[in-house]
Amino acid sequence: MGDGFLDIIFFAVVAGFIILRLRSVLGRRPGNGQRPPDVMTRQGKAGEDNVIPLPDHSHEDEEAPGLEPATGYDDGSEKDSEEVRQGDDDEPRPVVATEATLVAAGLTEIRLVDSSFEVDTFVEGARVAYEMIIAAFANGDEETLGQLLSDSVLDDFTGAIRDRQERNEILETTLVSLETADPLDARVVGDMAEVTIKFVAEISNVTRDAEGEVVAGDAMAVNVVTDIWTFARDVRSSDPNWRLIETRSMN
């Protein structure tokens, strides 16, 4: 009887030791067994509301909060990466994703459904499209705009052009410099790949009447403007061209 009782105590000690070792090796889930939050989840959908394109850029640039471009992509070496770190109490802690990691994840998502997609090539193409669209809008070139804009955005642009023509006004726009073009967001929505770019440019705008008199703007003034444009492409289509589906101005 005494030997059996000692055996029970012995096996209880061994079992307790094994349990402690397992806990030290495997760790514990945070939040009473709940999974860490999905840091890749983003709310909302790009392109919900189109804004009247190219509004009056006569005001100084006013930066809205929370719209910082991603100028680099996380390689896992930065201290704000998405890994789960151990604290002093050995409790795993989820790290909140930065704007850069969300954009990088979105760009990777696009690359997975479109193997021809290259970020640098896309950004360079977006810069060219920005210059072409601004020039075509000022010149009333609806044919060029039709190749670069979605139907809904094209309707806004052509409507503004025709209103200007009815007033016999001429818009003179000079793109002095395009300072930056940085990705703000990227995602796949159904079959559509969408990338939002923040453009910061120096632009001179002046509107003249039929007699050449200035009715809006200042031919001598150069304004810093910030435009947020979203481009999209159907990844199932053989057409490699991206079209502008949404515009916003920060001015």
Residues 92 and 193 in one domain: yes
Give the confidence band of 250 by pLDDT, cuts at 50, 70, 90: confident
In this prediction, residue 96 carries a pLDDT of 58
237 is a domain residue: yes
58 is a domain residue: no
Residues 97 and 14 in one domain: no
Amino acid letter for position 119:
V
- pLDDT above 80: residue 231: yes
For the segment 62-88, what is each residue's pLDDT rounded down to a tens digit? 444 444 554 444 444 444 444 444 445
Residues 219 and 103 in one domain: yes
Residues 16 and 128 in one domain: no
- How many angstroms separate the Cα of 78 from the Cα of each of 73, 100, 185, 246? 10, 11, 20, 33
CA neighbor of 196 nearest in space, from 132, 250, 134, 238: 250
- pLDDT above 70: residue 93: no
For the segment 102-131, what is each residue's pLDDT rounded down to a tens digit? 999 999 999 999 999 999 999 999 999 999
Residues 140 and 20 in one domain: no
**How crowded is residue 245: how many other Cβ atoms within 10 Å of its Cβ?**
21
Which residues, in sequence order, are CB contacts of 47 under 8 Å at separation 6+?
Answer: 194, 230, 232, 245, 246
Burial 69-87 (b: 16+ CB within 10 A, else e): bbeeebeeeeeeebeeeee
Give the confidence band of 89 by pLDDT, cuts at 50, 70, 90: low
13 is a domain residue: yes
Domains in the chain, number: 2
35 is a domain residue: no
Residues 17 and 101 in one domain: no
For the segment 142-183, what is each residue's pLDDT rounded down to a tens digit? 999 999 999 999 999 999 999 999 999 999 999 999 999 999
Q: Please list the residues that pair with 174 across neighbouring strands.
A: 204
- Written as six digits, the tokens of 207 are 């509107």
165 is a domain residue: yes
**How crowded is residue 248: how many other Cβ atoms within 10 Å of its Cβ?**
18
DSSP category for residue 247: E
Residues 13 and 115 in one domain: no
Residue 183 has, within 13 A of its CA and on its CB side, a CA count of 27
As a dihedral over the C-alpha atoms of residue 125, residue 131, residue 135, residue 138, rounded to 10 degrees, the angle is: 120
94 is a domain residue: yes
**Residue range of the domain that includes 23:** 1-30
Residues 124 and 7 in one domain: no
CATH of the domain at 100: 3.10.450.240
49 is a domain residue: no
Place of tokens 């609806």: 142
Residue that wins the pLDDT comparison between 91 and 191: 191
For the segment 1-42, what is each residue's pLDDT rounded down to a tens digit? 555 555 656 555 545 544 444 343 333 333 333 333 322 223
Give the confidence band of 99 by pLDDT, cuts at 50, 70, 90: confident
Residues 5 and 124 in one domain: no
Residues 238 and 174 in one domain: yes
CA neighbor of 242 nearest in space, from 196, 190, 182, 201: 196
37 is a domain residue: no
